[in-house]
Amino acid sequence: MKYFIADAFADKPFSGNPAGVCILEQPLPGDTMQRIANENNLAETAFAVPAGDGYALRWFTPVTEIDLCGHATLASAFVLHEVLGENRASYRFHTKSGPLTVTPKNDLYEMDFPAWPLRQIEITPEMRRAVGCEILEAHLARDLILLLENEETVRDLRPDFPAIAAIPESFGVAVTARGESCDFVSRFFAPGEGIPEDHVTGSLHCMLIPFWAARLGKDKLTARQLSPRGGTLYCENHGARVKIAGRARLYLQGEIFV
């Protein structure tokens, strides 16, 4: 099968979040896709196979299948459009999270994703131990979102990965704060799912966009994820949906033999 690695939410080489993209002619068994994702050893590998008016799309970390992945969706649309030369106005993906669309807009790829509302919860000693700093608020949806004091605190954070993995009821843990040169910043950790720190997490912004739109009183926002590689996301709040846009760059293309 054709295989690509594309850096999503990347403004320059070796930035953003690398995603594996496998373009299939026929569906593969789930256990085979999981073995390939484990062999690739990237945060996510996406598998796209033609289906109806678009593609069936599934995402796997090295250890498990997940229900929504932003950067690998953006990377898949980028590969289909810019590398393989499909000339569609938008790309429709059928996924476990319902239909998702990605629209090329100049040098950006804009994803239309569901918004995930958060509920505020009590801050626990386990949360404080996991991040090792003062937490202003804690909110929960798929992931645990911890509001910190400022961008510097987010950037300098040294998390306790075993403590993060032990926090119940969440796929991963994110820290966020108001940005200095952008609207908000974040970092994301999911060590229990084979992702100690994710480079740039599109699906996380299904929670962060409505969270920060309400706090800042604006629906168009620019975000930065402050991982060592870093990445920029251009965000819009649309109530029950969010739009998340970014750039992508091709790193590698080849073939997988199984």
**Catalytic sites, residue numbers:** 44
Give 161-167's long-range contacts (Cβ < 8 A, gap of 24+). 161/189, 161/191, 161/196, 162/191, 163/126, 163/129, 163/130, 164/130, 164/131, 164/189, 164/191, 164/192, 165/191, 165/192, 166/126, 166/130, 167/126, 167/127, 167/130
* DSSP strands (E only) in 43-193: 45-51, 54-60, 65-66, 91-95, 98-105, 108-114, 119-121, 137-140, 144-147, 173-178, 184-190
Q: Tell me the longest C-alpha to C-alpha distance in the chain.
A: 52
Beta bridge partners of 186: 176, 225
Task: Give the separation between CA 100 and CA 156, rounded to whole angstroms.
Answer: 34
DSSP 219-255: SEEEEEE-SSS-EEEEEEEETTEEEEEE-EEEEEEEE
Integer angstrom CA distances of residue 186 from 174, 202, 245: 7, 11, 16
